[in-house]
Amino acid sequence: MAHINDNFLKLKAGYLFPEIARRVQAFAQTNPDAQIIRLGIGDVTEPLPQAVVQAMHAAVDEMGKRESFHGYGPEQGYLWLREKIAEHDFQARGCEIEADEIIISDGSKCDTGNILDIFGPDNTIAVTDPVYPVYVDTNVMAGHTGPANDDGEFEGLIYLPATAENDFTPEIPKQRVDIVYLCYPNNPTGTVASRETLTRWVEYARVNNSIIFFDAAYEAYITNPDIPHSIFEIPGAREVAIEFRSFSKIAGFTGVRCACVVIPKTLRAKSNSGEDISISRLWMRRHTTKFNGVSYITQRGAEAVYTPDGQAQVHGLVAFYLENARIIREGLTEIGLEVYGGVNAPYVWVKTPGNVRSWDFFDQMLSQTHIVSTPGSGFGAAGEGYFRLSAFNTRENVEEAVRRLRKGLRV
């Protein structure tokens, strides 16, 4: 008989979102009249910006004519899109990033998982806790960890707790690690990292020859002008960081699929024989072998984000979700809850009252107010005693949710 990759068996059976879905379904079955509001999963709700829609329509028409049809494009993405990204998202912020350091893909979820293909099995890996579960689970699948303990922490990974006590800025580890995942603005806590914090991480990585995997999926939500949007705004980051960018949360592309990895040509790591190898060349080799490019239509849609109309429209979208976040944040604060995030991110991270456990509070909120949250413990042991609310919803639902919480939540 063939063999499976046994590492998959280490993954916890009750993964967070299926477990939420199971509990919500059970509740809906016994309470068929309840109007459930889902502030759990972080998926956008607003339609695509008009500039994107028009560009995609035009691209479909091109594809429908022999003279302008496109087959396979470059696996790493069309240069016209990579140039726009380099110019608008990086050079305009003073980052020294060129178009050939940007590789287009169909999503940051895939990129943050796939990147492990080009790194060896013996790296020491650190994640913040709570954390986007993809970073952890892909390391488990790749065999980089032992089994999980009762708190769901995997042996061999280094967890850096982010809690209210440290202002959601985990302490820089005392030991050296080879790879650290940072996500700012953060999912799930909705908090950001200051320029000083990111500078300390870059200095740490330079001293220790570590690599920072920087997930900037929510950079468009930054409202505070002092907060960096890219790790490459920090001097010295070109030798120590990879950045992940996505059109999902800025332009409503969760169902369209377009993202990119930014790997400076100056980033290197060691081979077994002690040679310094270019990470960007390895990633390009991997990407062009295992991936055949994002569709022409999608890339034309992504390009339209950088037109003046596109920019105005995506700023409108982001402002809309941030206003939702403000309504949630202020509503919960008035109830007397301890609330974090939601200013530079579409997530609000809330302490459960009286240290109630996350899943217990999830059930309580669902039964008392018919609102679905995400239990903090699902993102890691340090998330226990917190829950996450997402601002990705209609204004109507958000206002109704806050009304219900004010009226119905007994804290």
Ligand X SMILES: *Cc1c(COP(=O)(O)O)cnc(C)c1O
Q: Which residues bind ligand X (CB under 6 A)?
A: 42, 107-109, 132, 183, 187, 215, 217, 246, 248-249, 254, 259
Give the residue at shortest CB distance from ligand X.
107
Instruction: Measure Cα distances from 347 to 62, 141, 248, 306, 325 in Å.
Output: 39, 28, 15, 25, 7
Of 331 and 342, which has the nearer Cβ to ligand X? Answer: 342
In terms of C-beta density within 10 A (0-12 exposed, 13-18 middle, 19 or more buried), how is residue 29 classed?
Answer: exposed
Asked if residues 262 and 97 have their Cβ atoms less than 8 Å apart, the reply is: yes
Of 119 and 347, which has the nearer Cβ to ligand X? Answer: 347
257: left (phi over 0), alpha (psi -120 to 50) or beta: left
Closest CA to 103 of 119, 114, 91, 92: 114
Beta carbon of residue 137, minimum distance to ligand X (angstroms, whole number): 13
Strand partners, 404: none
Of 41 and 164, which has the nearer Cβ to ligand X? Answer: 41
Q: Output DSSP code: residue 352.
A: P
Of 230 and 369, which has the nearer Cβ to ligand X? Answer: 230
Of 112 and 197, which has the nearer Cβ to ligand X? Answer: 112
**What is residue 407's three-state secondary structure?**
helix
Of 249 and 370, which has the nearer Cβ to ligand X? Answer: 249
Beta carbon of residue 263, minimum distance to ligand X (angstroms, whole number): 17
Beta carbon of residue 209, minimum distance to ligand X (angstroms, whole number): 25
Beta carbon of residue 108, minimum distance to ligand X (angstroms, whole number): 4
Beta carbon of residue 248, minimum distance to ligand X (angstroms, whole number): 3
Closest CA to 133 of 49, 11, 296: 11
Beta carbon of residue 98, minimum distance to ligand X (angstroms, whole number): 22
